[in-house]
Amino acid sequence: MTRFVLGRIGFSTLIAVLLAFFTIPLLWLVTAPFTSDPSYEVKVPDFTWDNFQAVVEHPYALPSLYNSLILSVGTAVLVVLLAALAAYALSRVRLPGRDALLYALLLLSSIITGTAAMVPLFQLAVELNLIDSQLGLILILTGGLLPAAIFMLKDFMDSTPKSYEESARVFGASPLQIVRHVVVPVVRPGLATIAVWSLANVWGNFLMPYLLLSDVEKQPAAVITYTLYTEGGQANLSMLSTFGLLYSIPVVLMYLFVSKKYGFRFHGGIKR
Amino acid sequence: MAAIELRGLTKVYPGGVKALDSLDLDIPDGEFFALLGPSGCGKTTLLRTIAGLETATGGAVVIGDRDVTGVQPGGRDVAMVFQDYALFPHMDVTDNIAYPLRIKKVAKGARREKAEEVGARLGLERLMDRRPGQLSGGQQQRVALARVMATQAQAFLFDEPLSNLDARLRLEARTFLKKLQRELGVTTVFVTHDQAEALAMADRMAVMEAGHIRQIGTPAEVFQRPANTFVAGFIGSTPMNLLDGAVRGDTLEVAGCKVSVPASAEGRLTGGEKIVYGVRPEYMAYSAGPAEGALSGKVAIVENLGASHLVTLDVNDVLVQAVVPEGSEPAVGDDGHALPRRDRALVYRDGELV
């Protein structure tokens, strides 16, 4: 009996420590921005708006959120559009070596990431005159996300029965009508998943914009966060926490919205 | 309404698999026609080739005097119900039924009206606002039927229309489908692998094997006089007894017993030739005492079929089955004698009916 009780206590303590490990930083993020002189501790805030005032007055803070928005929305639109077309074709047309091609793409894109691709990508951008350009960055980010997006969407389209399209075809629908009336609505949850995934990916990406954008006015929030220091060279905790909160809110809202609307699951017709 | 004609229809898949081998078939206007066969026999390919979802490699498909071999599915004026019904999950029942009319650019009001009308006819009035995911299997099937009815196509094609329903609902749906087809009078071709379903529903049927049609006929013809041993073994819920034998003068020697020559084969056999003797278990008269021309042996297995029993006799190491009415079933190990009905027994030479 004692052993059981002790076991329960030990287990609960372990869970509590683990939970604290993840919740305390979050707790800090929501309290520190409202505290006049934040430190690394979690304190009961005194509800000041001074920190927000400082962020608004910072010359690059709010514009950088806008830059993040441009980069992530631009990339997400491109990724969804291109991945949907590629995945549909790959899912419906039998090509010799199709699966090998997909796995090779996926494998290469997950091995050669970030630091490994840094130098070649930089050189490529210089050669193509795409350095310090948001469009160039969007193209490079899109290229990085596409293989995984195609792979996920193809899987999704494989699991949607061909009979939907064939049925519409027998009724006389043109290929364009089939895509508009049937395919897009049926795979919409998949498209939403890919869109959210690319948005979040670009929103949090630090390395690529840091590398390819030198003009501070074009840099996204992830890079600007890195520049928030006090005159003494210390991390400016009041700015960092406040900016961090503003930076994370859009992503949280987006997840809530999409999860409510689509629930990230497939609404199918019949059990197969 | 239109007749369907197939002329030398051939389909070869890339890779050389011959799914259909030069098929000829005539389905008159208004007929309820079944394509029956084991899986992989090409029956679904045949249906899809009629629909235009598969392109014929050779031959012609003629629907109502119009050669549609090279026509896209949408231009053939046929409507198809898929095995999984293929109801669009994002549209409610009304929009699903009205979809073919939407393609034909019928005005929104008119097509809703038509959908309501067809839906009401199939008892779907209260379900018109639901999504397919909120319907039972039987309801989904009725929506799929309503959708093809709304097209007013010349012919309907059903791919395994009952296979997605559970056993009890299947019987109900079978009766419903047959009644509906009769009322509409639209030429209908359906595919099934279930011989009982084909026998029960079809006006006529084709039994297929490996891309060939092995027999075409009414359910009664196919059941009573299977044209070859393949059809004989495939049709019937209890398989036909197919026993090797030989002609001995005026009688046949089958499993070491003497049986009389069936009425249908009289005068067509030559002495000494090898034959296959076929008789359905239902057409055997079972008795405990010896009988002239019966297959005699020991009872090996007794299976309960409900209102009757299926008795398996071991006749000189050959298994022979007979259906025995309830109440008179023997015990395992008894001596038994099964007398084939002379007017129902059949003789096959080289696999073909004599």
Find the Cα–Cα–Cα–Cα dihedral B118, B122, B127, B129, rounded to 10°: -10
pLDDT at A267 over 60: no
Residue of chain B whose Cα is closest to the Cα of A183? B88
Tell me how far apart the alpha carbons of residues B134 and B86 are, in angstroms, rounded to a whole number. 14
Residues of A with CB under 8 A from a CB of B: 161, 163-164, 166-174, 177, 181-182, 185-186, 188, 267-270, 272
**To the nearest whole angstrom, how far is the Cα of B112 from the nearest Cα of chain A?**
17
Residue in chain B closest to A268 (alpha carbons) equals B89
The residue of chain A with its CA nearest to that of B95 is A181
What pTM was estimated for this model as a whole?
Answer: 0.74
Who among B51, B80, B132 is closest to A269 (CB)? B132
Cα separation of A266 and A264, whole Å?
Answer: 7
Question: For testing the chain B interface, which of A94, A163, A170, A186 should be mutated: the one with the most B CBs within 10 Å?
Answer: A170
Query: Do B285 and B325 contact (CB within 8 A), yes or no?
Result: no
Contact A270 B132 (CB under 8 A): yes
Residues B282-297: pLDDT tens digits? 998 888 888 888 888 8
Per-residue pLDDT of A30-43, as tens digits, reads: 888 888 887 887 87
Closest CA in chain A for residue B149: A171
Percent of chain B with pLDDT over 70: 100
Residue among B73, B74, B140 whose CB faces A270 most closely: B140
Sorted by where each begins, the domain ranges of chain A are 2-50, 62-262
Instruction: Taking residues A184-201, report their average pLDDT.
Output: 88
Domain range summary for chain B, segments of one domain joined by +: 4-234, 241-353
**pLDDT, average across residues B88-104:** 89
Chain B: give the shortest CA distance to residue A151, in Å.
24
Residue type, B174: R
Topology, domain B4-234: Rossmann fold (3.40.50)
**Distances in Å between the alpha carbon of B50 and those of A97, A148, B73, B141, B178?**
31, 40, 9, 21, 21
Q: Is B87 in Cβ contact with A170 (below 8 Å)?
A: no
Mutate to test the interface with A, among B68, B84, B165, B191 (most CBs of A within 10 A): B84
Please state at what angle helix A184-203 crosses helix A61-92, rounded to 10 degrees.
Answer: 140
pLDDT tier at A16 (50, 70, 90 boundaries)? very high
Partner-chain contact B86 A186, CB within 8 Å: no
Q: Which of A167, A265, A267 is the best mutation test for B, with the most CBs of B within 10 A?
A: A167
Residue B133: which of A171, A185, A267 has the nearest Cβ? A267
User: How far is B322 from B337, CA to CA, in rounded Å?
Assistant: 9
A269/B103 CB distance under 8 A: no
Q: Do B151 and A171 touch (CB under 8 A)?
A: yes
Say yes or no for a CB contact (<8 Å) between B86 and A164: yes
pLDDT for residue A268: 40
The band of A270, judged by pLDDT with boundaries at 50, 70 and 90, is very low
- Average pLDDT on A259-271 reads 54
Strand partners, B254: B245, B257
What is the pLDDT at residue A81? 92
Residue A12: pLDDT over 70: yes
Q: Which CATH number fits domain B241-353: 2.40.50.140, 2.30.30.760, 3.30.70.20, 3.40.640.10?
A: 2.40.50.140
- Minimal CA separation from B133 to chain A, in Å: 5
Distance CA B157, CA B342 (A): 40
Which residues of chain B does A188 touch, with a Cβ-Cβ cutoff of 8 Å?
90
Residue A114: what pLDDT?
67
Q: Which residues of A touch B72 (CB under 8 A)?
A: 169
Q: CATH second-level architecture of A62-262? A: Orthogonal Bundle (1.10)
Say how many Å lie between the first and final Cα of chain B, rounded.
Answer: 38
CA distance B209 to B211: 6
Mean pLDDT of all residues belonging to chain A: 85
What pLDDT score does A138 carry?
92
A191 closest CA partner among A89, A266, A99: A266
| Closest CA–CA distance from residue A186 to any residue of chain B (Å) | 7
Task: Report the pLDDT value the prediction gives residue B204, as an integer from 0 to 100.
Answer: 92
Note whether B103 contacts A168, CB cutoff 8 Å: yes
A235 or A266, which is more confident: A235
Cα angle, residue A154 at apex, residues A190 and B13 outer, rounded to 5°: 135
CA distance A80 to A75: 9
Which residue in A171, A174, A176, A272 has the most chain B C-beta atoms within 10 A of its own C-beta, making it the best mutation to test that interface?
A: A171
Residue in B78, B85, B103 closest to A269 by CB = B85
The answer to whether the CB atoms of A173 and B82 lie below 8 A apart is: no
Q: How many CA atoms lie within 13 A of A261 on its CB side?
A: 13
Q: What is the ipTM of this complex?
A: 0.78
Shortest distance, CA B321 to any CA of chain A (angstroms): 37
Say whether A173 and B103 touch across the interface (CB within 8 A).
Answer: yes
Say if CB B238 and CB B310 are below 8 A apart.
Answer: yes
Answer yes or no: do B103 and A171 touch at CB < 8 A.
yes
Query: pLDDT digit string (tens) for B299-312?
Result: 889 999 888 899 99
Q: Which residues of B touch A268 (CB under 8 A)?
A: 89, 133
Residues of chain A positioned with their CB less than 8 A from the CB of B86: 161, 163-164, 166-167, 269
pLDDT average, residue stretch B193-217: 90
Q: Which residues touch A241 (CB under 8 Å, ≥6 apart)? A: A28, A29, A32, A33, A38, A51
pLDDT of residue B219: 92
pLDDT of B239 above 60: yes
B51, B102, B133 member nearest A170 (Cβ): B51
Shortest Cα–Cα distance, A180 to chain B (Å) = 12
Q: Is residue B276 within 8 Å of B245, Cβ to Cβ?
A: yes
Q: What distance in Å separates residue B143's CA from the closest CA in chain A?
A: 12
